[in-house]
Amino acid sequence: MADGTGSLRRGRWEHFPHAADMGVRGYGPTPAEAFAQAALAMMAVVTDPDTIEPREAVSIHCEAPNAELLFADWLNALIYEMATARMLFSRFSVRIQGTRLDAQAWGEPVDIARHRPAVEVKGATYTALRVARDDSGQWLAQTVVDV
């Protein structure tokens, strides 16, 4: 299982097994950081995030009735930007106020030779969708993405 290491105070990401697609999971001291780490995990499904230069910023705004749907909307908004702008992202700044998310994602256009994308993420599903505190008190945001 691949994972992004780092201090839990700063957050971390990981993949989790799923039969047909790929599970992504983010952890952080706040829901916003967990969302950002899960976005990084989703990028790591496509390519090594360390190969993505944070050259251009894209603004993303979402609103949903609860945290789980907001998380799925966040990932799907990123997937939309990846598809329409042909970009990959490596840095995220997420703010959540109630049921509204405002974020910046920094990345660059896909360079096939340098990024070597492994798969295309088609969408965030509601399979295993969860936003909650884990046993350590960290926030967890997870779902399965369709690849």
Show Cβ contacts of residue 113 under 8 Å, excluding neighbours closer than 6 positions.
none
Q: 11-15, 33-37, 63-67: which has the minimum mean pLDDT?
A: 11-15
**CA dihedral angle for residue 70, residue 104, residue 95, residue 52, rounded to 10 degrees:** 80
81-131, pLDDT tens digit by residue? 999 999 999 999 999 999 999 999 999 999 999 999 999 999 999 999 999
| CA–CA separation, 142 and 74 (whole Å) | 12
Q: Provide the pLDDT confidence category of residue 21 given band limits of 50, 70 and 90.
A: confident
Domains of the chain: 3-146 (3.55.10.10)
In contact, 108 and 83? CB cutoff 8 Å: no
